[in-house]
Amino acid sequence: MTARVNVLTAGYVGERVASTVTLIQDGDAVIVVDPGMVVTRAAILGPLTSLGVRVEEVTDVVFSHHHPDHTLNAALFPNARFHDHWAIYRDDVWDAREADGYELSPSVRLMATPGHTAQDISTLAETDDGLVVLTHLWWNASGPAEDPLAQDGALLLKNRDKVLALSPALIIPGHGAAWAPGGPTEA
C-alpha cells in the first residue's frame, strides 16, 4: 500500500499569505500538513469533506516549521497528534524525538531540512506515482531562487539538493501549487 496525497488548498505569497495545506492518507494514518493561514477555514474543511474525511478522523498534523502561516488552524483537528522538528504533542503529553527519519506510517516519513528556519522539516510520502515531498525549501514553483527570509540560505540550498537527489515525482511547496522537478527552481 502507498500513500494518497491531496492538496486541500494551494497557498500563495504577496500582499496576503496562505500556506499550502495537504492531506495524506496511508492505511489508518490521516495526516494534514501545514494547516496554517488560509482565506477562510472553509478552504481546508470543504476539500477535506469532499474527500470524505471528518476532522475527528485526522490522526496526525505536521508543521514544516512554526510560523503562524503554517500552524494557525491546527486546532481544527481535535484528535490529532502534532509533529514538529523535535517532538510529538498530544493533549498534555510532549514526547521528545528527532524528526529526521521518523515514520508516521509505512509510506510517510519526516526529514530534517533546515534553511528557511533552523527547525524546518519536510514530509516525504511514497505514492503509486513516486515520491511526493512537502517542503518549505521552495515557496512555490518559481522559487524564489534565494529565500529572502531564510535563516541560513546556504543550508537551504544544500537541502534543496538533498531533496532533489531523492528524485521526487512531485514537490508540494509551502506557498503554491504542486510541481514536478526539472524546472527553473533547480538552478
pLDDT tens-place values along the chain, 187 residues long = 799 999 999 999 999 999 999 999 999 999 999 999 999 999 999 999 999 999 999 999 999 999 999 999 999 999 999 999 999 999 999 999 999 999 999 999 999 999 999 999 999 999 999 999 999 999 999 889 999 999 999 999 999 999 999 999 999 999 999 999 985 444 3
Where in the chain are the domains? 4-186
Write the burial class of residue 68 (CB in 10 Å: 0-12 exposed, 13-18 middle, 19+ buried): exposed
Burial class (CB in 10 A: 0-12, 13-18, 19+), 94: exposed
d(CA 101, CA 49): 30
Residue type, 161: D
Provide the CATH topology of domain 4-186: Metallo-beta-lactamase; Chain A (3.60.15)
At 5, list the grid cell.
496525497
CA neighbours closer than 13 Å in the CB half-sphere of residue 132? 24
User: Distances from the Cα of 142 to the Cαs of 16, 62, 181, in angstroms?
Assistant: 18, 24, 11
Beta partners for 132?
125, 170
